[in-house]
Structure 1
Amino acid sequence: MKSSSYSITEIQQRIDKVKRFLSITLSIANAHTVEFYTQDVWKRFVAVSPEEVLLAVTSCGDQQREPQLNGPDNPRTTFGFCNDSSRLVDIHELLQAAKAHSLSGLGVCMSRDELLQDLRQTWSESAGAPPEQIGAELEPDEFMNSKKSHEVQSMSNVVACLAHLCGVKQVIDVGSGKGYLSSFLSLQYGLRVYGIDSSSTNTHGAQERNRKLKKFSRAYQKHTKATRTQAEARHSPEEELAAIKPHLNEDKDVLYETGVEERVLTGSSDVDPVGERLSEDNPETEEPFLSALSVDVMQPTSSRVPPSQLSDEERERRKRENLERKSQNRPNSTSTVFSPLTSYVTPETELRDLIDELEDAVMVGLHTCGDLAPSTLRMFVAKPELTAVCSVGCCYHLLSEEFDPAGQECLESVCGFPLSQYLRSQSWFCGRNARMSACLALERVSLGQGIQMESLFYRAVLHVILRDHYSSYKSEKRVGNVYSKAESFVDYVRRALRRLELDESKLSDSNIQDYHDTYRVRMDEMHAFNMLKVTLAPSIEGLLLLDRLCYLKEQEDVSFSALVQLFDPLLSPRCYAVVGLKGYSKR
């Protein structure tokens, strides 16, 4: 592979830079919004006005200023924080530092095009020109209108290149969900895909989708093969779809399942989901196969229950279901698009116990939640049959941390962070609130798709009321989704008190409204503070991903590893993949 991949020393140097930045700024990311007013968070951490912060952030900090000289009125600062008081005194210095310590600012990521170019060149040098289908690309407007089609299209091309470069025909999709990526890899590239998900609901749904796609698969593959042999220009997508449709008369529900809205996965409860829908009236804007899939979003991997906590009946049921699927889904069978399996996956999982026909394979994960993403990398390293990995994680707030001072136990004693020996040797700790902040989407917020401030404001003021009138209340109790049902702040508080089983008769409506009016004038403080969290998000995410990359760099048998921006961050905020290969000499 090319020298686009940085050495382990260079990655460690980048980690050190981000660590130094976060050692000063992480306290802001870890401040809990619920305690914003009870702990007077703004005055504790910030010495400038909310208006100044909001103005600087909304202008993206692009204004270039001359460095301020340190003097009596200009205290010495580090990344905009006063060295004496540890409070933020220079917002512009912070914004510039945050940009410099993001993955883009550190310059450690390859683009998707750069990775594909390297893979194709390596393939060409070792085995001649790659197959035509691996080089085929759709124009952006054919798939960029949908988040899911964008993700599947972008990632599947990379995975197919990895598989062909490694000379393998099998792909293992961990956290496969409803099987969009798995199905596309099988139909478009002829790969044998095993989708493993801990949710039996997801695998049952994927199995049903396999049945529906049976006729489509045959027609699609036949049509694709015929199309590739033609010398004339490529047909338009609507002509391709029209050529396939006649084969689907007996199962018309394959093509379109209406009425289901696709919701953009943000990975954070602080970010508003943005609704998107595949255009059923304009099939020319979509790749034909993606039009055939249902448009409901692939949800993050559901809560996983370790095998030790399953009942004997549940373990037996899962084993029976998997055996039945294995008997039905042989590699040469046309009855399925791919093989969905239900299993809880750990680095110790024996893949041969799940897959009888296991050969050398590529392991992939598209938006695997929490600890599942680092577990995917651990499996890649531990299993000799896995020749390459392409992992896109999400839901950083669900990661377990080995050095959590609260003493939270890691699942089966294996923590998701830190993964690398380099950070583990330093006992580095981020904190849940900081990891939650890492899920915020800076690019979207910059375009006005911002944080739902009113709900956060309501929750913070409720905390003041609980402190003042319910001293026995345990703050760790959760209010839940009360805001969406409330008609006003008074209604919100009353619903919350009932949810928490507290005596609401202590407060009159006017008492409650007085709290709202008192703190409403300070709402800009909360808005500005949360914008600071958004500004820090790329650096926190960067450290988490650099840790994963460093882990692969530490492995002797991993010949190539890199961070790759696979997706457009406006469409898919969790846009970075960790890619690794075995079997090629390091350069």
Structure 2
Amino acid sequence: MISSSLSLSEIQHRIDEVKRFLSVTLSIANAHTVEFYTHGVWERFVAVSPQEVLSTISSDSDQQRELEHCAKEKSKTTFGFCSDTNRLVDTHELLEAAKSHSLPGLGVCMSRDELLRALGERGVERGAELEPDEFMNSKKSHEVQSMSEVVACLARRCGVKQVIDVGSGKGYLSSFLSLQYGLQVYGIDSSSTNTHGAQERNRKLKKFSRAYQKSSKAARVQGEASHSPQEEVVEMKRDDEAGTVAKEEEEEEEEVIGFPDMTSAVERPSEPHPETDELFLSALSVDVVQTTPPRVPPSQLSAEERERRKRENLERKAKNRSQSTSTMFSPLTSYVTAETELRELINELEDAVMVGLHTCGDLAPSTLRMFVAKAELAAVCSVGCCYHLLSEEFDPARQECAHSVCGFPLSQYLRHQSWFCGRNARMSACLALERVSVGQGIQMESLFYRAVLHVILRDHYSSFKSEKRVGNVYSKSKSFVDYVHRALRRLDLDDSKLSDSHIQEYHDTFRPRKEEMHAFNMLKVTLAPCIEGLILLDRLCYLKEQEDLSFSALVQLFDPVLSPRCYAVVGLKRMEGRCSCR
């Protein structure tokens, strides 16, 4: 039995703390960058200079910050905002408050290692050691390795062998769980393109897995083996349809970091090679496989040799069929909601762990709702993303839909308070404070261009629709003048009514005020972890409200610099009365 570190009442208390902070500061997060100059955003919300904001945020000197803090008139401020004007007057006070109201500051999260210790797991049985960074980028590799071990431990803790991966995408996590940990994984994605690609990718992984696992079992006398690893690889290459292979390679071109040199593994199959089990994944790029001399024709073999090879081939195929029935990844195409009947999608469904790696918008809360509602789901590990795509039940700007179930708030506690954040605030929650702090900042120039364009639209195109999006025009533009012409044409507006010199005048007028926008966006970045924290605390509170759960927690699974959406909501149901645990 494991117990959660914080009770429901303690989580509710943390929620109240964050709500109080956001009730004062959320107006900054909800200000739209596009309207920064047309709505006089800086003057409305900030009473200090942009230089002071930026220097306070970037300053490493505690003494300097303390002097700035003491110099402020603090008698009428709340979290750095003047109680009379509701404008920011003390940046340092705001930064300190934001830090204490983030998830780390609230002390509500477990580390990944703490979770594994709480589960009582020192490790789980694995198949052949795989190196996922050989067939996916470093970010995805980090996420898959970190999350898969947690999921495998949850499965063992619950005594189950099945996993349901919601929003499985290209199937990286699903394939890894299947091949590395021997779990039967059902990957559900709404895109048929994703599920088909995942199926093809997994088929190739399993073929290479069998080829290279065989070569690492023991050193054989060269010539005894019925199939050497390189023969298996070449045979697989011959069997692949040319069109399918080409499509697969094209899809994965942007995902692959690079492939190690396969020559040693392919040319010397009889030599012991401790890394052979890991290297098979690199053969996803079929072009790196070295060609080998043609095999001896069956007609030139003795009858005894032909019979021996036939017997070994039959044994190998029987073994592979047996392995594929117990260790399998099955991609399924379906649009999943909280009302989805899993047994209608998966006929052979038993008790399972439900997982989601960066499930977008409402899919993350739907995953938690399914976990609570379905008796066959023993545990959940959900990492959400794309908070701007969440639907909010109490947002006045939301378009009503009688049949929709909103993603926020999820808990009864926040629903009873009719709390909402707003779309711009949820968009701000997607900003990555840790990345900005190490110099991976936001693209200010494109935001500046868009805000000045909005001024031009206001001044010269009274009939324009502000909600109409310009799209990715900045990356194709050579200058601000070029950007404006492209944007106007994208909006179906006449760009000939403005001369190039007139357009440039707008740029030159607002250029000295660009630092205001930079400072304001840094304030948004500072508030981002607090808004994300409230959304995730709401999900944890929802699990705490359920009576049949033995454990629930927020867990930091990933390095936030590599993967900014790094928190998982984890829950386990009570084991009493579960008849199908194994």
Aligned match for 1:470, one of 439, 451, 461: 461
Q: Which residue identity does 1:87 align to in structure 2? A: R
**Aligned to 1:368, what secondary structure does the other structure show?**
strand
Q: Does 1:181 align with 2:173?
A: yes
1:485 to 473, 476, 491: 476
Helix, strand or coil at the partner of 2:331: strand
Alpha-carbon distance in 2 for matches of 1:569, 1:434: 20
The 8 Å contact of residues 378 and 572 in structure 2, kept in 1 or not, is answered as yes
What amino acid maps onto 2:563 in structure 1? S
**Against the structure 1 CA distance between its residues 288 and 549, is the aligned structure 2 distance closer, same or farther, given a 3 Å change threshold?**
farther
Could you tell me which of 206, 214, 217 is aligned with 2:209? 217
Note if 1:147 corresponds to 2:150. Answer: no
Counterpart pick for 1:251 among 222, 230, 236: 236
Query: Cα distance 1:6–1:411, how it changes in 2: closer, same or farther (>3 A)?
Result: farther
1:5-39 Cα offsets, whole Å, 9 max, x none, are 31111111111111111111100000000000000
445-454 vs 243-252, which moves further: 243-252
Shift of 1:362: 0.4
SS at match of 1:39: coil
Once the two structures are superposed, residues 107-153 of structure 1 have per-residue CA deviations (whole angstroms, 9 ceiling, x without a partner) of 111000111111125xxxxxxx864449x999999999811111111
Which of 415, 418, 433 pairs up with 2:406? Answer: 415
- Are 1:397 and 1:432, in contact at CA under 8 Å, matched by a contact in 2? yes
Query: Aligned partners of 1:176, 1:442: CA distance in 2, in Å?
Result: 27
Q: In the alignment, which residue of structure 2 is the partner of 1:194? A: 186
Distance of aligned partners of 1:378 and 1:551 in 2 relative to their CA distance in 1, 3 Å threshold = same
Structure 1 residue 221: deviation in Å? 5.6
Separation (CA, whole Å) in 1 of partners of 2:134 and 2:236:
25
> Following the alignment from structure 1 to structure 2, what is the Cα–Cα distance between the partners of residues 106 and 454?
35
Measured against aligned partners, the alpha-carbon deviations of 1:431-460 in whole angstroms (never above 9, x if no partner) come to 111111111111111111111111100000
Q: Is the 8 A contact 1:174 1:197 kept in 2?
A: yes
**Alignment map for 1:58-207 (pairs within 5 Å):** 58-59=58-59, 65=66, 74-120=74-120, 131-133=124-126, 146-207=138-199
Q: Taking structure 1 as reference, are residues 469 and 56 closer, same or farther at Cα in structure 2, changes over 3 Å only?
A: same
Aligned sequence identity (%): 79
Contact 1:367-1:393 within 8 A present in 2 as well = yes
CA contact (8 A) 1:119 1:162 kept: yes
Number of residues of Structure 1 aligned to a counterpart in Structure 2: 515
Report the Cα offset of residue 335 of structure 1: 11
Cα pair 2:208 2:281 within 8 Å, conserved:
no
Residue of structure 1 equivalent to 2:521: 530
Larger Rg: 2
Please state how far the C-alpha of 1:498 moved relative to its aligned partner: 1.0
The structure-2 alpha-carbon separation of the partners of 1:363 and 1:446, relative to structure 1 and needing over 3 Å to count, comes to same
In the other structure, the counterpart of 1:25 is 25
Q: Write the distance in 2 (CA, Å) between the matches of 1:436 and 1:120.
A: 38
Q: Is the 8 A contact 2:488 2:495 kept in 1?
A: yes
Aligned to 2:40: 40
- In structure 2, how many angstroms separate the alpha carbons of the residues matched to 1:558 and 1:257? 44
Matched, 1:444 2:429: no
Structure 1's 184 and 419: CA in aligned 2 closer, same or farther, altered over 3 A? same
| Structure 1 residues 130 and 43: alpha-carbon distance in aligned structure 2, compared to 1, 3 A threshold | closer
Q: Which 5+ residue runs of structure 2 have no aligned equivalent?
A: 220-227, 263-274, 287-319, 577-582
- Write out per-residue CA displacement over residues 209-262 of structure 1, whole angstroms, 9 at most, x where no aligned residue: 2332231232456578x59xx9xxxxxxxxxxxx966642323599x9589555
Measured on the aligned residues, the alpha-carbon RMSD in Å equals 3.3
- Alignment check: 8 A CA contact 2:390 2:408 kept: yes
* Whole-Å separation in 2 of the counterparts to 1:577 and 1:212: 30
CA–CA distance in 1 between the matches of 2:500 and 2:42?
Answer: 28
Query: How far does residue 407 in structure 1 lie from its aligned partner after superposition?
Result: 3.3
What is the CA distance between 1:59 and its match in structure 2?
2.9
Q: Please, which of 357, 361, 386 is the counterpart of residue 377 of structure 2? A: 386
* TM-score, normalised relative to structure 2: 0.81
Specify whether residues 142 and 566 from structure 1 end up closer, same or farther in structure 2 by C-alpha distance, changes over 3 A only.
Answer: farther
CA distance in 2, matches of 1:14, 1:143: 41
Could you tell me which runs of 5 or more consecutive residues in structure 1 were left unpaired when the two chains were aligned.
Answer: 122-128, 231-242, 264-276, 296-328
The answer to whether the 8 Å contact 1:393/1:577 transfers is yes
- How much does 1:289 deviate? 6.3
1:448-493 CA-partner distances (Å, limit 9, x unpaired):
1111111100000000011111111121111111111111111111
Query: 2: CA distance between counterparts of 1:94 and 1:290?
Result: 48
Partner of 2:552, secondary structure, is strand
User: Which residue identity does 1:153 align to in structure 2?
Assistant: Q
1:309-346 deviation digits (Å, cap 9, x = unpaired): xxxxxxxxxxxxxxxxxxxx999646994100000111
Match of 1:51 in 2: 51
SS at match of 1:363: strand
CA distance in structure 1 between the aligned counterparts of 2:119 and 2:146, rounded to whole angstroms: 15
Change (3 A) 1:61 1:377: farther
- Aligned partners of 1:12, 1:486: CA distance in 2, in Å? 49
Distance 1:138 1:49, change over 3 A: farther
Which of 475, 493, 498 is 1:507 aligned to? 498
* TM-aligned CA distance change 1:68 to 1:191, over 3 Å: closer
Deviations 1:389-417 (A, max 9, x none): 00001111000000010132358420000
Partner-residue secondary structure (3-state), 1:65: helix
Cα distance change, pair 353–28 in 1 and its aligned pair in 2 (3 A): same
Q: Is the Cα contact below 8 Å between 1:46 and 1:89 reproduced in 2?
A: yes
State whether structure 2 residue 331 is matched by structure 1 residue 352.
Answer: no
Question: Quick one: distance in 2 between partners of 1:286 and 1:536?
Answer: 45
Aligned to 1:280: 259
Q: Which amino acid aligns with 1:430?
A: C
